[in-house]
Every structure is written in structure tokens, then in C-alpha cells.
Structure 1
């Protein structure tokens, strides 16, 4: 097996990032409400997480994004103002906040679901399933490698 230099790894890394950025750029117009809303990337991430996992808590969002609950709460102020999310107190546990989609949030979810379906139908279905499964496997390996490398010595 040929040894790859760090420069070769760097080239692959940068080209992969560039490809992902281009994919995002090409696909972003397929969810027109996102550009209309002019959300920050943090607010957009919160909305996408909530759309994918509508029972997610503020704490789980905080953990996934890697920012404090108060920062999440601040980002959510605009989401509430835009009628994307509605926060309310959980009547069973008054210390817990529940979130539901507002009217614009429901429209965003509808567009996002249609977006995912079109990506699968228009693009993913053109690729071999085995190739997609291999990409998924490699991404999981990379995720695992990064996670292990970023764990603090106390976590290991």
C-alpha cells in the first residue's frame, strides 16, 4: 500500500469540503422559504434539527450544536417572532419547555420534506446503492475517528 503524504490528505479534505459547499449552494434554492426568512446559520440549524426530530429538547439541541442553552434560547427569539417555532411550558413538568411548529414552521417543514424527497428521487437514485452505502460507511468511520480524537482523556 502506497503511503500518502499529509499534503495529499489535505488536498482530499479540502476538495471534499469544496464539493459539500457546492452541493449546498446548488440545492439551497430548492427550499425557497429559507432564503426569504434570512435566518442565521445557527437559527437554520435549530430549525432543521427540530424538523428532523420534532421531539428534540433545548438541551439536546444545545448538545448537538455545541453551544449553551441560553445561546439556543436567544437564537430562538427570532424563530418565535417569525412564527417558525412556538415555545410553551410543559404542563407535566413546569421546568421543561416544549416546542411546536408555528404556521411558517409548518410551511418550512412541508418544503423541507419535499426537498428531501426530490434530492433522493432526482440525485441519490441515480447512484448505485452500494456506492452510497460505501460513502455512508466511510463517513461513519470518519465521524468515529474524529469523536475518539476529540474526547478528553477523562472520557476515554
Structure 2
């Protein structure tokens, strides 16, 4: 019971930290796009160029749902899609100009938060935080992660 209580308290604290940081620093970015659109955009940012099927699989969405999300993001210049020159049946996604601006600002805010709030942690504490996060990720997903 004590372990479960500690875990619940830790999760609650992390949620409060994330809520505060989102409200204080990321609110201007959040108002532009929905959480699903952000997930798609973040995946494109991380993996570009990436094909539409990969996005659909990653989020367990139908191709039509992903297509609707992409159409909206492309219309607003967050994404750019084009046919894969090596496989003309495949559509590749990259960030559009507004998507690149979005992640430039996202990274700027992220760096500020790291410098302001995480820098008081020692190198040992940040290493422990990373190791705990990796272990939890492996337990939850059954995958191996050293990121």
C-alpha cells in the first residue's frame, strides 16, 4: 500500500508541475492546435519525412482520421505532404513553415524551462530521473529505451 501511495503522490506532483508549465509557458502554442493535431505534428517533427501509414499506426487511427488531421494541418501550413518519389503510392509528411515556427518556439520554451527549473537538480539527480523514466517506459511498453 505504501508503494502505491508513493506512486500516486509522485504522479500527482508531476501532473501539477506539467499543468503549471503548460499553463504558464505553453498556453500560446496550445491554443492553435488540438491535442491530436499536436501528436501528429510532433511525430512529423521527430521523424520527418514520415509516411502517413506510420502516423496512423503509431496512434491507432484510421487512414481517414489521419487524412483529416493532415488536411487541416496542411491547410494552415503546419505540414507539407508530397508523394514519395521512390514509391508514388506513399505520401510523405514534413513540417511546413508554420510547423517549423511552432517547434522553434516550442524548443525555445523547453530550453528556458530546463535552464530555469531543472538546472537546480544535480547531475546525479537528473541521471536518476532519466533512469527511472526509462525503466518505467520499458515496463509499460515492453520496449527498450535509452533516450
Q: TM-score, normalised by structure 2?
A: 0.78
**Count of paired positions:** 142
Q: Whole-Å Cα distance in 2 between the matches of residues 56 and 92 of structure 1?
A: 13
1:10 maps to 2:28? no
Secondary structure of 1:95 counterpart: strand
1:141 maps to 2:135? yes
1:94 maps to 2:92? no
Q: TM-score, normalised by structure 1?
A: 0.74
User: For the structure 1 residues 126 and 52, does the alpha-carbon distance in structure 2 shift closer, same or farther, using more than 3 Å as the test?
Assistant: farther
| CA RMSD after TM alignment | 2.4
Structure 1 spans left out of the alignment, 5+ residues: 149-156
Higher percent of residues as strand: 2
Q: Whole-Å Cα distance in 1 between the matches of residues 114 and 15 of structure 2?
A: 21
Q: Whole-Å Cα distance in 2 between the matches of residues 68 and 15 of structure 1?
A: 35
Structure 2 spans left out of the alignment, 5+ residues: 143-147
Per-residue deviation, 1:5: 5.6
4+ runs deviating over 4 angstroms = none
Could you say which residue in structure 2 is the equivalent of 1:121?
Answer: 115
1:48-80: CA deviation from partner (whole Å, max 9, x where unpaired): 222233233323323333333332222111101
State the structure with more CA Rg. 1
User: For the structure 1 residues 119 and 53, does the alpha-carbon distance in structure 2 shift closer, same or farther, using more than 3 Å as the test?
Assistant: farther
Alignment of 1:3-152 (within 5 A): 4=2, 6-29=4-27, 32-35=28-31, 37=32, 39-148=33-142
